[in-house]
Amino acid sequence: MDIINIISKKRDKFKLSKSEIEFFVKEYVSGNITDYQAAALIMAIYINGMDKEEISNLTIAMANSGEIIDLSEIGKVIVDKHSTGGVGDKVTLILMPIIASMDIPVAKMSGRGLRYNRRHN
């Protein structure tokens, strides 16, 4: 399996398999896939779309690519409002206290991209 074939497959409007999506995420996070290759795949995905299964597989692969924190001791139901950052996250500032005021545990997480640039590790 290689990234060029995966890019070509999505460019040609074919569905990506779970293993192809997992390969892409794992190898990109490991630094084995370049930014321009990732950009090419993302562009093909943007142009041709993904079905629900592909979206689900990509979401799970991305979630599993980082550190997973066990928050089970906090409670059965835990809510996270995730943000990609941007220019001022005004929703989180208002939403988190409202949810917490309803006695719902809130775990506010930040994405790895907000904390460092992977090229400067």
pLDDT one digit per residue (tens) for the chain, 121 residues: 999 999 999 999 999 999 999 999 999 999 999 999 999 999 999 999 999 999 999 999 998 998 877 777 877 777 776 666 666 667 777 888 888 898 887 776 655 555 444 444 4
Residue 86 lies in a domain: yes
Provide the whole-model pTM: 0.67
Residue 121 lies in a domain: no
Q: What is the CATH number of the domain that holds 12?
A: 1.20.970.10
Q: What is the pLDDT of residue 104?
A: 81
Nearest-angstrom CA–CA distance, 16 and 50: 8
Q: Which domain holds residue 27?
A: 3-63
Does 7 lie in the same domain as 57? yes
Does 36 lie in the same domain as 85? no
Nearest-angstrom CA–CA distance, 12 and 15: 9
Angle (CA) 25 57 60, round 5°? 70
